Amino acid sequence: MKTQRTRWYRSLTLRLLLVFWALLSVTAASGYLLAIWNKPKAELSPLKPEIYQTLQPLLSDALTFHSLQPGRLIAGDYRVAAQLSNTGSEKLLMDELLRIKHGSTLLRMLGQEQPQQIPLDERLLMGPFELNGNKILVTRPLGPEEYVDKEQLEQESMQARALTVIIGSGVLAILLGIWLIRPIRRMILGMREVAKGSAKPDLKRLPKRGDEVGELARALSQTALDLAKSRDAQRRLLSDVSHELRSPMARMQVALDLTETEEHHGDPNWQQLRRDTERLSVIIERILSLSRLENGLIELNKEALDSGELVQQLINDMCYQKPEVEERLVKLGDAWPEIETDAELFRLVLENIVRNALHYTEDKVELSCEVGRDNMCVIIRDHGPGVEESTLVKLFEPFYRGDPARHHKAGVGLGLALSQRTAVVLGGSLTAKNHPEGGLEVVLELPKR
């Protein structure tokens, strides 16, 4: 497969730089625009009676009223801010500084029917005060309470701006995170499919991009295909060899049966030959069964069954074959549910696990059940020494046996591997862990339906 290199203009590094630059620019622009949009805007409010009572006597004299010009001090801190006259060449006069900064507000105030007030910067604008068709606006410094109210308004506005910027930046950051993480999560799911050892891993959702992420996805896809081909070839070889050995082994067993005499019963060499032949036959049968499971050649025959009755029947059958295990096999609890599954495969999994536990321990083997809403768990626990944590994940590998000193007694190392594949075929899973109080605990989880 030809390696496709990432072009510089499709580089993830370039994209990240552009995205971060855009994010910073948008954040800065948002802060600037929000500072303008959310600038505290004071509203007009009716003039306080005490202010009106203070100014009314001073502004009731027509001669004095007509002589008032913008900037003139009336009394105390009260100054004229604007004058609208119905006579003369200049009908509208304003304080120059106020006209530049708040000209529109002054015009709006002059158009009011009743006297109003509004804070502007550090001053309070009041009016209009009208006499004989002439109007004036008056201003004075803000009082302590008025200044506190203004500061509180600005602080609330600033908090609103900050909150808006934080929320906006957070949304952008979340979108950026999703854009970055989504293809990586897809690759993680794809790697898990490959790690499961699936013959046909589902890699359709891997990202198809032209940057480094896409290059990594293509490399992962090719690696998965190569691994799948290698595993498939290995399984096919093992299956073919086992199939070819099946017929000669069957003929050998028949020949041993036909040639066996009374003298052979006491011959240890003959008995060892028979045991080895039977053991080799078991290995071949299990390899073929494992191959059929992995290649999907076994069809499920689902039926409704009582899981408790099936477990009890399994215990009865094993005790009949080996009466010495009767005291060691214990079924716990009565709340075993009715499930819909393949009875033969269900029993195959349980039997392999129980036999494995009986091989490795001399203590009790307990079978219990936990029932969920849509699934059930059969828990097989022995009271032996348990297994090292580092080897737990290897228990379900074909031909793996944890105790080298007990290889011959423990079987061929295919029972748990066959059980795990069977559990997957049944739509469930098989896991193992050490029990806190000692011993190994194998959990078979299956759907109820």
Q: Terminus-to-terminus CA distance in the chain, angstroms? A: 44
Q: What is the pLDDT of residue 254?
A: 83
Q: pTM for the complete prediction?
A: 0.48
Tokens of 227: 């691994």
pLDDT per position as a tens digit, 28-64: 776 676 666 655 566 788 888 888 888 877 777 777 7
pLDDT of residue 242 exceeding 70, the answer is: no
Domain ranges of the chain: 45-142, 302-447
Q: Evaluate whether 418 touches 323 at the Cβ level (below 8 Å).
A: no
pLDDT in tens, 171-223: 877 887 777 777 778 777 777 777 665 556 666 767 777 767 777 777 777 77
Q: What is the mean pLDDT of residues 129-142?
A: 84
- Are 378 and 307 in contact by the 8 Å Cβ rule? The answer is yes
Q: What is the pLDDT of residue 410?
A: 46
pLDDT number for residue 408: 43
Class of domain 302-447: alpha beta
45-142 domain in CATH 3.30.450.210? yes
The pLDDT of residue 11 is: 65
Q: What is the dihedral of CA 346, 352, 354, 358, to 10 degrees?
A: 170
**Range with lowest mean pLDDT among 6-20, 87-101, 435-449:** 6-20
Q: Among 120, 151, 137, which Cα is nearest to 51's?
A: 137
pLDDT of 406 over the 60 cut: no
Q: Is the pLDDT of residue 430 over 70?
A: yes
d(CA 118, CA 109): 9
pLDDT of residue 1: 47
What does the block give as tokens for 203?
């890699």
Mean pLDDT for the stretch of residues 300-307: 85
Q: What is the DSSP string of 159-186?
A: HHHHHHHHHHHHHHHHHHHHHHHHHHHH
Torsion, Cα of 338, 316, 358, 377 (10° steps) = 10
pLDDT above 60 (res 77)? yes
Higher pLDDT, 147 or 386: 386
Contacts of 113 (CB under 8 A, 6+ apart): none
Predicted pLDDT at 405: 41
- Of 161-175, 284-298, 340-354, the one with minimum mean pLDDT is 284-298
Output the DSSP codes for 104-141.
HHHHHHHT-SS-EEEEETTEEEEEEEEETTEEEEEEEE
